[in-house]
């Protein structure tokens, strides 16, 4: 299966571990007309970490920084795949068979039966090459 994969920027905002922080960040971003297309969030101790990809990272950063949030950037791969049984296995097996190390991965919704997998790893170019191979 050939997958469409490309390198994009993921944004990260660190917040206090309190109820409503994801809502707060997503409200700031959406009020600026920016769509969040992928998101993962987790907490470690008193800190919360919100990682997300948008359709306009430049504007999202500007707006969040104006609100005194520190925004970190990280390159990740976004890979399109079918929303069906075994799709995640197929992608991760392709990467595993080439000994490509992954740091993190999460799924987001897509349209028309498709979904998107966001992948962080040591060699993003290799991930894209493997997933875009015929």
Mean pLDDT of the chain: 92
Separation between Cα atoms, residue 7 and residue 43, nearest integer Å: 26
> Of 67, 53, 46, nearest to 108 (Cα)?
53
Each domain of the chain, given as residue ranges in start order, spans: 10-73, 75-132
**Under CATH, which number does the domain 75-132 receive?**
3.30.70.260
Q: In terms of pLDDT, which residue wins out, 3 or 43?
A: 43
Separation between Cα atoms, residue 77 and residue 134, nearest integer Å: 18
Separation between Cα atoms, residue 75 and residue 119, nearest integer Å: 9
**Under CATH, which number does the domain 10-73 receive?**
3.30.2130.10
pTM across the whole model: 0.86
At 55-96, the pLDDT tens digits run 999 999 999 999 999 999 999 999 988 888 899 999 999 999
pLDDT at 1 over 60: no
**Which pLDDT score, from 0 to 100, does residue 3 have?**
56
pLDDT at 134 over 90: no
């Amino acid at each position: 299966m050939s997958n469409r994969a490309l390198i994009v920027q993921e944004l990260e905002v660190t917040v206090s571990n309190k109820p409503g922080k994801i809502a707060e960040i997503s409200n700031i971003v959406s009020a600026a007309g920016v769509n969040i297309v992928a998101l993962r969030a987790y907490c470690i101790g008193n800190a919360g970490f919100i990682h997300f990809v948008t359709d306009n990272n430049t504007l999202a950063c500007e707006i969040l920084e104006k609100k005194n949030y520190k925004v970190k950037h990280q390159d990740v791969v976004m890979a399109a795949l079918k929303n069906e049984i075994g799709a995640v296995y197929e992608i991760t097996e392709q990467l595993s068979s080439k000994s490509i190390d992954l740091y993190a991965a999460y799924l987001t919704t897509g349209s028309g039966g498709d979904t998107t997998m966001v992948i962080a790893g040591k060699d993003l170019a290799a991930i894209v090459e493997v997933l875009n191979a015929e």
